[in-house]
């Protein structure tokens, strides 16, 4: 009887794994089958490096959107990664239990807030602040970076904290036995030992940042141009797709799907790079 249950559960797990693989394969087939023909019609180099996006004139250059996505994601990481990692270290190794009981639900709540709510917060709070204290009208790379930096915090904090807590206590006790202080033991032994998990948190944060649409669309300015300042507005790849897919037809629609292909390749490159770095770290 137990053997039959094991066989049934093995079949269930295999079935769910196959469904996941098939789903990813179907997405890839749809994107590439619909995106590559558009790239060929437009010209791959012209599509990727073109600086003019004007569908009415059959000009489909997504270079400004590529730069916009990279700038906003990089800015979010500069803001969110240090804060998230230090917050995770504090919660895992320094935070008193009474404060932790309050802090943990707050972090979890941040993860559950819808993107549109973050967008309204950025529009009502961050945009006016940037407008009053810096250059421009407030809808800019800096505004989007700050907002995305806040949005990726729950992901980085949650995964990093779990990774830090997963490190064996003997590492910490050994460092104390050698005469290290509590702070030195945490930052020179525990945190390096949790490096793989922290890197995974950063990669997930990158995925969240580069794939975010609604919140960025509300505060970034949505201007399809090459920005020359962090106080200028930009348009990201995701925003470009969402804004125009509703009325796009023919080559315009295919170009938007091709934009999705570029975004998919970006995420793929990030994940492969993480896997390579992780394997090199394990070899060392």
Angle at 272 between CA 268 and CA 277, to 5 degrees: 150
Residues with Cβ < 8 Å from 283, sequence gap 6 or more? none
Mean pLDDT computed over every residue of the chain:
86
Q: Taking 80 as the threshold, does the pLDDT of residue 141 lie above it?
A: yes
Under the banding of pLDDT at 50, 70 and 90, the label for residue 20 is confident
Among residues 245, 251, 257, the alpha carbon closest in space to that of 217 is found at 245
For residue 261, the tally of other CB atoms under 10 A from its CB is 19
Rounded to two decimals, what is the model's pTM?
0.84
Six-digit token pair at 56?
Answer: 């009415």
Q: Give the side-chain half-sphere CA count within 13 A for 130.
A: 26
Q: Taking 90 as the threshold, does the pLDDT of residue 243 lie above it?
A: no
Six-digit token pair at 221?
Answer: 């300015």
Under the banding of pLDDT at 50, 70 and 90, the label for residue 268 is confident
Six-digit token pair at 223?
Answer: 């201007």
């Amino acid at each position: 009887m137990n053997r039959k249950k094991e066989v049934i559960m093995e079949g269930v797990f295999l079935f769910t794994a196959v469904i996941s693989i098939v789903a990813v394969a179907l997405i890839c087939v749809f994107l590439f089958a619909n995106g590559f023909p558009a790239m060929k019609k437009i010209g791959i180099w012209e599509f990727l490096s073109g600086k003019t996006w004007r569908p009415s004139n059959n000009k489909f250059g997504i270079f400004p959107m590529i730069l916009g996505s990279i700038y906003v994601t990089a800015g979010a990481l500069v803001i969110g990664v240090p804060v998230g990692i230090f917050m995770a270290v504090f919660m895992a190794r320094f935070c008193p239990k009474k404060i932790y009981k309050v802090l943990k639900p707050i972090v979890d709540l941040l993860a559950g807030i819808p993107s549109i709510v973050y967008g309204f917060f950025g529009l009502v709070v961050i945009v006016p602040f940037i407008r009053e204290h810096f250059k421009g009208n407030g809808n800019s790379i800096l505004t989007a970076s700050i907002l995305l930096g806040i949005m990726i915090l729950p992901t980085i904090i949650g995964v990093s904290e779990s990774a830090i807590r997963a490190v064996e206590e003997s590492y910490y006790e050994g460092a104390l036995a050698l005469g290290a202080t509590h702070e030195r033991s945490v930052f020179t032994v525990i945190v390096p030992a949790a490096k793989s998990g922290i890197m995974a948190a950063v990669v997930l944060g990158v995925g969240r940042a580069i794939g975010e649409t609604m919140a960025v669309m509300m505060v970034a300015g949505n201007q399809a141009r090459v920005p020359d300042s962090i106080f200028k507005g930009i348009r990201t790849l995701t925003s470009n797709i969402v804004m125009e897919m509703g009325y796009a037809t023919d080559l315009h629609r295919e170009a938007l799907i091709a934009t999705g292909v570029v975004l998919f390749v970006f995420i793929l490159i990030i994940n492969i790079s993480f896997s390579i770095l992780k394997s090199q770290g394990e070899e060392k």
